[in-house]
């Protein structure tokens, strides 16, 4: 039991480091590029996926990781809508960036879980 | 619009701003694992496309752009928010690449090598995201040119004297 919880802690620490490294690396690449709309492409880089898929395959196998990737399709559709709405509100209404990006996270959750329910939830 | 490498963005960023991004990314990645463990891969997988970096990036871009404009003696807040919005528009285009990445991993992973699938999916992400950006830029410019030409034709037919005056100037 204790050994199992130690494995979980190790796994979480590994995920924090790997996720942090990938996200920071992509954000540095984004900071180096101009124009801003092109640099923004790196805001939607598969950083979390690259950090976790290898570990998931090692722990749970390829089929499990493949099922995660299937759900990732729905998550990316939600991300697209979220980023589009954020951009419209910031460009047209000039709302504060932090308040806009934080409050619109609700959109990501609603669309992602709505799609999950509609597409995968009933199967 | 030409794509170029500019290091001023890096010089403007402070070390703690990267620490914030590191913390955001690390936390979301760890949470993804915990969620997948408790609720299964179908729910956990949704979080592989969670907008982990966008809120931090947009806030920092707004701050940097506002500071730059204020140093030049301008108000800058609206400009900073617009710059953050343009970056978010880029992220929306990048999501098409993210979707292609997910499709490739979903379809190819069960029967292929992990390293090969991740390399192919990452290349496909980059190619798709850049292609969407280029297409959007070209279409946007073509529409802008057309609108500009239509506006000029209309203004010439409505007020030929003023346009002739403008042209001679």
Percent of chain A with pLDDT over 70: 93
What is the per-residue pLDDT for B114?
A: 96
CA distance A61 to B109: 10
pTM for this one?
Answer: 0.88
Closest-CA residue of B relative to A24 is B22
CA distance B108 to B98: 15
Ramachandran category for residue B13: left, alpha or beta (phi over 0 → left; psi -120 to 50 → alpha): beta
Token pair belonging to A79: 């991300």
Could you tell me if A117 lies within 8 Å of chain B, comparing CB atoms? no
Could you tell me if A105 lies within 8 Å of chain B, comparing CB atoms? yes
Q: In order along chain B (169 residues), what is the average pLDDT of each group of 10 residues?
A: 82 85 90 91 95 88 88 84 94 97 97 96 98 91 85 71 47
Distance from CA of A82 to the nearest CA of B (A): 8
What is the per-residue pLDDT for B164?
A: 46
Distance from CA of B137 to the nearest CA of A (A): 10
For all residues of chain B together, what is the average pLDDT?
87
What is the per-residue pLDDT for B142?
A: 87
What is the per-residue pLDDT for B128?
A: 98
Residue B81: partners with Cβ closer than 8 Å, 6 or more residues away? A90, A91, A94, A95, A96, A97, B62
Q: What is the pLDDT of residues A45-102, one digit of tens each?
A: 999 999 999 989 998 999 999 999 999 999 999 999 999 999 999 999 999 999 999 9
For the cut 80, the answer to whether the pLDDT of residue A1 exceeds it is: no
Locate the domains of chain A by residue range: 1-60, 70-123
């Amino acid at each position: 039991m204790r050994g199992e919880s130690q494995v979980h802690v190790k796994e979480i620490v590994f995920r924090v480091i790997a996720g942090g490294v990938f996200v920071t690396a992509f954000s540095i690449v984004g900071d180096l590029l101009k124009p801003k709309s092109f640099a923004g492409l790196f805001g939607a880089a598969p950083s979390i996926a690259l950090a976790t898929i290898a570990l998931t395959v090692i722990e749970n196998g390829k089929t499990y990781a493949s099922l995660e990737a299937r759900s990732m399709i729905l998550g990316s559709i939600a991300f697209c809508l979220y980023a589009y709405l954020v951009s419209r509100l910031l460009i047209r209404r000039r709302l504060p960036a932090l308040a806009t990006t934080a409050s619109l996270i609700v959109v990501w959750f609603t669309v992602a879980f709505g799609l999950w329910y509609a597409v995968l939830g009933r199967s | 619009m030409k794509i170029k490498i500019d290091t001023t963005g890096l010089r403007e960023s402070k070390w703690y701003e990267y620490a914030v991004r590191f913390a955001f990314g690390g936390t979301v990645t760890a949470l993804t694992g915990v969620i997948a463990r408790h609720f299964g891969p179908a729910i956990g997988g949704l979080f592989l496309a969670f907008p982990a970096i966008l809120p931090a990036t947009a806030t920092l871009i707004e701050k940097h752009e506002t500071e730059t404009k204020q140093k030049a003696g301008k108000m800058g807040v609206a400009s900073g928010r617009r710059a953050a919005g343009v970056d978010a528009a880029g992220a929306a285009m990048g999501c098409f690449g993210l979707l292609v990445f997910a499709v490739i991993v979903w379809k190819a992973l069960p029967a292929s090598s992990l390293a090969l699938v991740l390399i192919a999916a990452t290349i496909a992400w980059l190619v798709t995201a850049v292609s969407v950006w280029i297409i959007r830029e070209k279409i946007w410019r073509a529409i802008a040119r057309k609108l500009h030409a239509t506006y000029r034709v209309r203004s010439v037919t409505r007020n030929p004297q003023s346009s002739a005056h403008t042209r001679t100037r």
